[in-house]
Amino acid sequence: MKYTTIPNTDLKISKICLGTMTWGNQNNEAEGHQQMDYALENDVNFFDTAELYSVPATPETYGATEKIIGNWFKKTGNRDKVVLASKIAGSGPYTKHIRETGFSKGAISEAINNSLKRLQTDYIDLYQLHWPERGVNCFGTRDYPFETSEKEAENHFEILETLQSFIKQGKIRHIGLSNETPWGTMQYLQTSKEYNLPRMATVQNSYSLIHRAYEYGMSEISMRENIGLLVYSPLAQGVLSGKYLNGKTPEGARGTLFPNFIARYKTPGAEKAVLEYQKLAKKNGLTLSELSLAFVNQLPFVTSNIIGATKMSQLKENINSININLSDEIIAEINEVHELIPNPAP
């Protein structure tokens, strides 16, 4: 395993992070425990979850993943071996069953305390805002939704001040963003500097061979401001495994069960790009998943790559990607495809 450090902290984390959002829906508790056992045995010490998991978010499955992790901590006593990240859900129709109060002081307090109970731990190492309260271009929205621009943006000062109180209590150690934009990221960084408040250490955004929009502005912020990218959907919800090519709908696959999850990655341009990357992988003796993950692993602005799997065979392949080093020639060929078909998935 290779390791990095969460920026401006002393937290040493594996470059591969174990994603958990299927536990409690596609995976049962025993399977979730098996994945955590295997990950830790293979030196993956960084786990990421969220209060709204498992997905799709429903009242029935709210908090299910955190409960599974908490039961594993209780059973194994491995809490001190894991750097644990979780998130407070953003507001909106998708999460109205959780709360409708956004990132208010009361909402943050409720979310943190309830997550700690479910996780059966006294602290969360990295606590993240799952998505902004204002309208932004994420989750398949390619362009800025300017029609929402008059809506008041987050109260960055109040949010940071509230999170600071929980850091002082020892309930969370560090804080991060998710699905954030250059403007929002800089607002948080500037507010923390101006008022001597806790600094956002990470940004968890989507990134993959067919969705490299992070490079438009966020990658420079990551490198110049030292705020690390935690990549989610590096396989584009499984599309970059090749299993959905040519209209295939594998039994039990996330895209088969919940087609909305992969719709953004199933554009005609995306399928064309995936076919080209598949050819490149085969030419170099790699699977498409290995090529896709290895490319993300070597990016200079990536702090950790969040992989997720429903099957143990997938988990083993994904973790093993850390041992694959792509040559300059392969990276050049990847970028040639990217030049021809840039960011086909929004």
Name the catalytic one among 53, 62, 188, 244.
53
Q: How many CB atoms lie within 10 A of CB 147?
A: 8
Place of tokens 């200079």: 300
Place of tokens 């039961």: 71
Instruction: Tell me if residue 267 falls in helix, strand or coil.
Output: coil
In angstroms, rounded to a whole number, what is the distance separating the alpha carbons of residues 330 and 339? Answer: 14
Packed helices 105-119 and 64-76: angle between N→C axes, nearest 10 degrees: 40
In angstroms, rounded to a whole number, what is the distance separating the alpha carbons of residues 64 and 221? Answer: 34
195 is known as an active-site residue = no
Nearest to 112 by CA among 65, 72, 169: 169
Query: Cβ distance 88 to 127 under 8 Å?
Result: yes
Place of tokens 């425990």: 33
In angstroms, rounded to a whole number, what is the distance separating the alpha carbons of residues 226 and 222? Answer: 5
Q: Which residues contact 54 (CB under 8 A, 6 or more apart)?
A: 21, 22, 23, 24, 25, 26, 61, 64, 65
In angstroms, rounded to a whole number, what is the distance separating the alpha carbons of residues 314 and 296? Answer: 17
If you write DSSP's letter for every residue of 155-182 in order, what string do you get?
-HHHHHHHHHHHHHHTSEEEEEEES--H
If you write DSSP's letter for every residue of 266-333 in order, what string do you get?
-SHHHHHHHHHHHHHHHHTT--HHHHHHHHHHT-TTEEEEEE--SSHHHHHHHHHGGG----HHHHHH
Q: Which residues are known catalytic residues?
A: 53
